[in-house]
Chains A and B, each alone.
Chain A
Amino acid sequence: MSAKAEKWMDTGTGGAGAVWQPLGAWLVGNANAIDLYLKRLPKPSAPVHLDLGQIEHLDTAGAMLLWQLYDRLHGEGMAADFVNVPEHMKTLLSAVGVVRDKTMPKPQRMNPFYMRLMVLGQATIAFWEDTVCFLSFLGLITVTLWRNTVQPWRLRYCSTVHHIEETGLKALPIVGLLSFLIGIVISYQGAEQLRQFGADLYVVNLLGVSMLREIGVLMTAIIIAGRSGSAFTAQIGTMQVNQEIDALRTLGLEPAELLVVPRVIALTIALPLLALYANIMGLLGGAFMCWASLDIGPGAFMRQLQEAIDLWTLWVGLIKAPVFAFVIAVVGCYQGFRVTGSAESVGQLTTRAVVHSIFLVIVLDAAFSILFAWLGI
C-alpha cells in the first residue's frame, strides 16, 4: 500500500470548526487499517464536519466506521456532522446509520465451577431421560414383535428379506475376510508362545476354542454394529428429517411395525448365520497358517480340532449371536428415531448408535461369560 493510502483522514480546520476529510477507499479490505488509524486521531478541539467529498469508495464496513467515529465524537461531547456527502453514498450512509446501534449480544460468562456443575447436571438428566426413552422404545418393539408373532400375516416379509440380504448376504465378503485374517493371526501368535513348551499342536485347541466361543461371534457383532447398526440409524434418521416418519403416522401406519420389526428380525436371522460363517472362515485361516508355517497338515489339524471342541463349544458362541443382533438393531433404530430436524444430528446419532451398540455387545458378552461359568459350560 502506498504512503498516500496510509493516510485515511485529512484533518484540517475550516470556517466553523474542524473539517475532517476521509480519503481513499473505505472498503472492508482496508477496514482494519482505517479503524487503527481513527483510534490514533487526536481529540478535536472544535465541532467536526466530516466532509465526504474526497472519499473514493464506500461500502458497509466503511460506512460503519464513519458512524462509529461520529458516535465517538458525540460521546466525547463534540458535535459532528456529515457534509458534502456524494449523492450515491447517501442511501448507504443512512441505511447503515439507522441500524448502527445494534451490537452482538455479549457471550455469557459463567463461574467455571457452576459451569461444570451445570454440565454434570445436564448430562445426568440427559442420561436418565435417554434410559427411560430407550426402555419405552424397547417395550414398544417387544409389543409390536409379539403382535407380529400372533398375527404373522402382518409381518412385512418383503422388507425383512430385503434387510437379510443387505445386512447378511452383502456382509459375507468383509466378515469372511476379517475372520480368515484373525484366524491366521491367532494361530501364528499362539504358536510362537506354545512352541516354547514344545506344545505346537495345542495351537489348534487355542484357535478352536477362542474362535468358536468368543472371537467369531464378537468380531461379527462388532463388524455388523459398524456396518448395519449405523445404516439403520442413518436410514431412519434421514426419513425423520424428510418427515417421512410423520407421513407414515398420518397414514395410520405404525413406524415400529413397518421399519423396526423387519430390521430386528432380519438382523436376528442374519447375524447367527454370519457368525457361523465367521467361525468357519476363522478356522480355515488358522488351518491355512498351521499348514503353511507350522507343519501341521489338514489331517492332523482336523484330528486335533475334534479332540479340542465339541458341539457345545459352537453353541456357546452362537447362542449369543441373536441377542447381540437384537441389541444392535434396536439401538440402531432407536437412535434413528431420535434424529431431530437437522442433517447434522443424523451424523451425531449414527456415531452414537455404533458406540452404544458395541459397548452393549461387549458388556453382554461379559455377562454371558459369567453366566456360562456359573452354569459350568
Chain B
Amino acid sequence: MAEDIVISVEGLMTRFGPQVIHQNLDLHVRRGEIIGVVGGSGTGKSVLMKEIIGLLRPAAGNIKVLGEDPYTNDTRRAEALRQRWGVLFQEGALFSAQSVAQNILMPMREFTNLSIPLRRDLAALKLALVGLPTEAADKRPSQLSGGMKKRVGLARALALDPEIVFLDEPTAGLDPISANAFDELILSLRDSLGLTVVMITHDLDTLTAICDRIAVLVDKRVTVGTLAELRENGHPWIREYFGGPRGRAVMAHQAAGEV
C-alpha cells in the first residue's frame, strides 16, 4: 500500500428503522492528516464518527481503525484499541463530578502504572500543551467557559498520547479569536505529536486553514478531496456549500492572504 491508511471504512450502511443514513459509504484516512467531515444537518456526521469509534454498530460494512476492528468481541484488543485514540465531544463531555486535573488524570490512572508525581507532571504538561493555565487544574467543569471546556476535553483526549484524535465540532460556539487559536493548537499538536485528526466541523475557516482533505457527506456517501478539488466538484450541494456567500468570502480572504 502506497499510503499508510489508519482508518478504513468500506461499504458502510447505517439505518435507523426504515430511514437509511449511509449507504455503501467508503472512507480512508491517511496517517498524519487532518481530515474535515462536513455535511448538511441529519446527514449523519456524528453518527459516522460514533460508528468509527465503536459506540454504534453499523447495519452493514467493514470498519478498521489502526488495522483493528472496533467491534471485535475480544475485549482485551478492543480496550487496547480504545487507548490508541482520543475523542473530544461537542460539549467537552467532561466528568462534572471531578476537577479538571482529575478529568485528565483519569485515563492515566486507569491505564498506566505511572507514579503519582509523574502523573501530575504529565497532566500539567498536557494542560500547558492545550494552552490552559495550571490554575485551572482545580476548577470544576461547571466553572469553565465553553472554550476552556473544549481545551480540557482535548487535554483528556490526549492524555495517553493517542495516534488518532476525533473532534466533534471543536470550534462551534467559540468566538473567532478562540476558534483561530484552537485551529492553531490542533495544527501544532498534529505537527509535534504526529497525530491523525478526524474533525467534524462547519467552520469554513477551519476547513480552509488546517484541513488537508475534506470529506463531504452527500447522498448517503462521502466525497473526499482537497479544498481545490471540491470547489471543482459539480454536485449541487457541494457547489452551494463552497460557493455560497460564506464560502466565497473565506476563499477570497484566503486568496488575498496567499498573494
Contact = CB atoms under 8 A, between A and B. Distances in A.
Interface stretch (A88-96, A248-256, A366-374): A88-96
A116 interface: no
A52 interface: no
Give the dominant DSSP class at B's interface.
helix
Interface residues of B, number: 34
Interface string B184-221: 00001001111000000000000000000000000000
Contact of B129 (A35, A60, A94, A344): A60
A150 interface: no
B129 A104 contact: no
B112 A31 contact: yes
B126 interface: yes
B161 A59 contact: yes
A32 interface: yes
A124 interface: no
A35 B118 CA distance: 8
A91 B129 CA distance: 13
Main secondary structure of the interface of A (DSSP, over half): helix
A342 B129 contact: no
Contacts of A28: 108, 112, 114, 122, 160-161
Contact of A104 (B134, B160, B193): B134
Contact of A32 (B113, B129, B140): B113
Contacts of A99: 125, 128-129
Contacts of A92: 192-194
B138 interface: yes
Contact-residue bracket for chain A:
20 to 34
B228 interface: no
Contacts of B114: 28, 31-32, 61
25 contacts: A27-B161, A28-B122, A31-B114, A31-B122, A35-B115, A60-B126, A60-B161, A61-B122, A64-B121, A64-B125, A92-B194, A94-B192, A95-B193, A96-B192, A99-B128, A104-B123, A105-B135, A340-B142, A341-B142, A342-B140, A342-B141, A342-B142, A343-B96, A344-B96, A344-B97
Among all A-B residue pairs, the 10 with the closest Cβ atoms: A99-B128, A59-B161, A342-B142, A95-B192, A91-B192, A102-B128, A341-B142, A344-B96, A92-B192, A104-B120
Interface of B: 96-97, 101, 108, 112-115, 118, 120-129, 134-135, 137-138, 140-142, 158, 160-161, 188, 191-194
Interface of A: 27-29, 31-32, 35, 59-61, 64, 68, 88, 91-92, 94-96, 99-100, 102-105, 340-344
Given A31-B114, A95-B129, 4 more contacts: A92-B193, A102-B128, A340-B142, A342-B140
